[in-house]
Every structure is written in C-alpha cells, then in structure tokens.
Amino acid sequence: MRLNWGMIGGGEGSQIGPAHRLGAQADGLFTFAAAALDADPAKGREYAQRLGVAVDRAYGDWREMLAGERNRENRVDLVTVATPNATHFEITKAFLEAGFHVLCEKPMTMTVEEGEVIVKIAQSSGRICAVNYCYSAYPMVREMRAMVARGGLGRIRLVVANFSHGHHGDAGDADNPRVRWRYDPAMAGVSGQFADCGIHALHMASFITGDEVARLSADFASTIESRVLEDDAMVNFRTAGGTVGRLWTSSVAIGRQHGFDIQVFGETGGIRWASEQPNQVWYTPLGGRTQIMEKGEAGLSDDAARLSRVPIAHPEGFPLAVANIYVDLAAVIRGETRDGLPSAEDGLRSMAAVMAAVESAKAGGAWVDARPPMLR
C-alpha cells in the first residue's frame, strides 16, 4: 500500500516544491494526502486542491495541518518541510514531537543549538528526521561512496569539492528580492554562499568518504561590495581520518551554471563526478587509464543499481535524485534499513561547519573545530 505524504511550503512558484511533489509521487510510493503550501492560507488551500489534495486536508498553515493530521486515522506518514529557512526548526520539531517522520529542506536549523535539539528529539522519538541533501541520492554518488567503503581507492588522501555558479553575479541585482536576502544577515543569518551551497558540497565530501569534517580554515569574500555576507568562499578542511579537503563555492562565477562537482583521490585511484552530468563517474586506477563508469552498467553496487530506473546511458536527473530520497524514506518507514539517508545529525554537522567557517574567516583563516559539541 502507498504511504501518505504531506507537504508544508513549496507553494505555487516555489523552486523546490515541484521537485518534492515529483519526488514523492514518481515511483508510486506516496499519495499526496495533505498540505499547507503557502504563507497565504487561502492560496495554499486552493493550490493543494488543484494538485489533488482533498478539501479537508488542504490546510491553511502548518499548525492547522498538525492539528488536523495528528489524530487522524490515515494520517500522513511523512511530512516534507520546504518553508523559508528560519521556520524549519520550529515546524520540524513540532511534527517530530507529534510522532511524524519528517523530511526537512536544508538548512535544518539556523543555529547549532537548534540542531542539537532536533537530533535529540529524533533520537529519543525513533522518528526519522531526514535532511534533503539530495545530491547524495544520485546513483553514481552512491556508487562512489560504495567504492570508497570497500577500499576501492585505498585510504583517501584528498577530496576537492566545488559548488559554484554565477547566478548572483550581477551587481545590479542589489534590489532583486530573490537574490538580495541571501547576503543580508537579517534574513540569511551568518553566512551567504557557504551556507546556501557550500554545505551541499561539504556534506557530499563526508558522504562519499564516510568520514567526518573535523576542522577547517575559511576565506570568505564579498566580491560585490554592497553585500555583507560572502558570495565566494574557500574552505580547507581535515577529516577525522586525516583526509585533506578543499572546498570552493561561489555565486559570482559567471558561466558556471550549477558547478557542483567533486573529486576524491586515494592511494590507489581517483574519481570525479559533476552534477551537470550526474550519470557518469570518471575513475582512474593508479597507473591505469581513466574509465567512464555509467549509471546502469553491470557490476555496480546494490545501492547504485537500486536507485536507477532506466537503462545505461538513459540519463536520470535532479528530480529523480530527490525521488531517491523518497524511495529510501518509504523503505525506512516500512521498517527496512537504508544506509545513506541524510540525517538530523548531518543537518547539525552542516550548521556547526557554517559557524566554524564564519569564525575562521573572521579570524583570518585560523583553523577551528568544525564539529558540533554534541557529536565531538
């Protein structure tokens, strides 16, 4: 039987809303049963019904939805939180405490302390709190993780991750509301580009290497003068296991569209992946030729094989990476075990890394501990 799914935020015109709805429904695992889609209750109710949600479950806001679903017999099994960043903590906390499983958009919280609260609730309640680091659910990203885990590259020496784009490269955008808030501490918090995109890359580095970022040194720059927060950042780091890390992120890299890519170098080989061509991995064994690994080829790990839907060289893209998060969530809700779902702990680690990077950048690149106190 299908599971019931509800969504908070992601209303009409939202960028991420469609990806979640597609993600939840694409594989026929969830029925879109309840929603509170918009800050404007009337618009949210109307849009939910237009998307097929029954009138009595098309809610005006999340509190109404919590009240309406809480004691319902066929209540939603999973709630996706895709509201503005500052509200993630409160909503996620409330739904977890009410016993719902939650998939929260990133960032999970705005502070480390809030993150620790969520982790504790998730741990004590036994509810899932997943965070949507969806790039980790691409089949070939899972394959890289599996390669590293089975020792296919030997000890990992170095990981180099980039997440750069140029969509905020126009200084004339100073008054564009879609852009401006990201560099305004009142709305975005302590970090701009690193908190927005960098943490995806940092999560990916940890995810693939199976290792934790232990300490870091950051260089932040606001290359457009009107910006308070950084639009370009370089973060050097070391993992607990001693791997060297380099992470560059930028929003003024005009010509880079979605330049999220990662390279991992070990004792016996190197691999490379790019989000704009996500169905391949370039793998070079020490002393050998570079090989192009393809999603769907024979011999991939179970995880990579399981999360691919169509044959080799038939590309699958971003929305289906999001769908893979839902595939794994459905399995876990049903009691199966899935390794790789991004967790509340991952959300907390990201927040701690953001704080550490801000602190380091202010201190001229001093090396600081990147781990949340709770997980040290």
Interaction with a copy of itself in 31-70: which residues (CB under 8 A)?
32, 51-52
Element (H, E) at 65: helix 62-70
Q: Does 276 bind a copy of itself (CB under 8 A)?
A: yes
Among the listed ranges 106-114, 242-250, 335-343, 350-358, the one in contact with a copy of itself (CB under 8 A) is 242-250
Site for a copy of itself in 113-172 (CB under 8 A): 157-158, 160, 164-166, 169-171
Token output for 43 = 């618009």
Contacts of 44 (CB under 8 A, 6+ apart): 11, 35, 36, 37, 38, 58, 59, 60, 61
Convert residues 197-236 into a mask of x (bound to a copy of itself by CB under 8 A) and - (unbound).
--------------------x-x-x-xx-------x-x-x
Contacts of 368 (CB under 8 A, 6+ apart): 215, 216, 217, 356, 359, 360
Token output for 124 = 């004590």
Element (H, E) at 158: strand 156-164
Query: Least distance to a copy of itself from the beta carbon of 291, Å?
Result: 4
Length of the chain: 376
Taking CB under 8 A as the criterion, the residue among 21, 93, 101, 182 binding a copy of itself is: 21
Element (H, E) at 162: strand 156-164
Among the listed ranges 92-100, 124-132, 139-147, 254-262, the one in contact with a copy of itself (CB under 8 A) is 254-262
108 neighbors 118 (Cβ within 8 angstroms): yes
Query: Least distance to a copy of itself from the beta carbon of 125, Å?
Result: 29
Q: Write a three-state SS string for 73-133.
A: CCCCCEEEEECCHHHHHHHHHHHHHCCCEEEECCCCCCCHHHHHHHHHHHHHHCCCEEECC
Among the listed ranges 85-93, 189-197, 198-206, 308-316, the one in contact with a copy of itself (CB under 8 A) is 308-316
Taking CB under 8 A as the criterion, the residue among 74, 123, 226, 291 binding a copy of itself is: 291
Q: 180 vs 309, which CB is nearer to a copy of itself?
A: 309
Query: Least distance to a copy of itself from the beta carbon of 294, Å?
Result: 6
Q: Does 257 bind a copy of itself (CB under 8 A)?
A: yes
Q: 244 vs 333, which CB is nearer to a copy of itself?
A: 244
d(CA 26, CA 22): 5
Taking CB under 8 A as the criterion, the residue among 174, 184, 290, 375 binding a copy of itself is: 290
Taking CB under 8 A as the criterion, the residue among 320, 325, 327, 348 binding a copy of itself is: 320
Taking CB under 8 A as the criterion, the residue among 47, 133, 248, 326 binding a copy of itself is: 248
143 neighbors 249 (Cβ within 8 angstroms): no
Query: Least distance to a copy of itself from the beta carbon of 137, Å?
Result: 14
Sheet holding 101-104, edge to edge: 30-36, 3-9, 78-82, 101-104, 129-131
Q: 84 vs 99, which CB is nearer to a copy of itself?
A: 84
Taking CB under 8 A as the criterion, the residue among 269, 342, 347, 372 binding a copy of itself is: 269
Q: 43 vs 309, which CB is nearer to a copy of itself?
A: 309
Instruction: For residue 52, give the nearest of 111, 90, 7 by alpha carbon.
Output: 7
Query: Least distance to a copy of itself from the beta carbon of 172, Å?
Result: 9
Contacts of 129 (CB under 8 A, 6+ apart): 92, 96, 101, 102, 104, 108, 118, 119, 121, 122, 343, 344, 347
Taking CB under 8 A as the criterion, the residue among 12, 18, 113, 210 binding a copy of itself is: 18
Question: How far out from the chain centre does Cα 222 lie?
Answer: 24
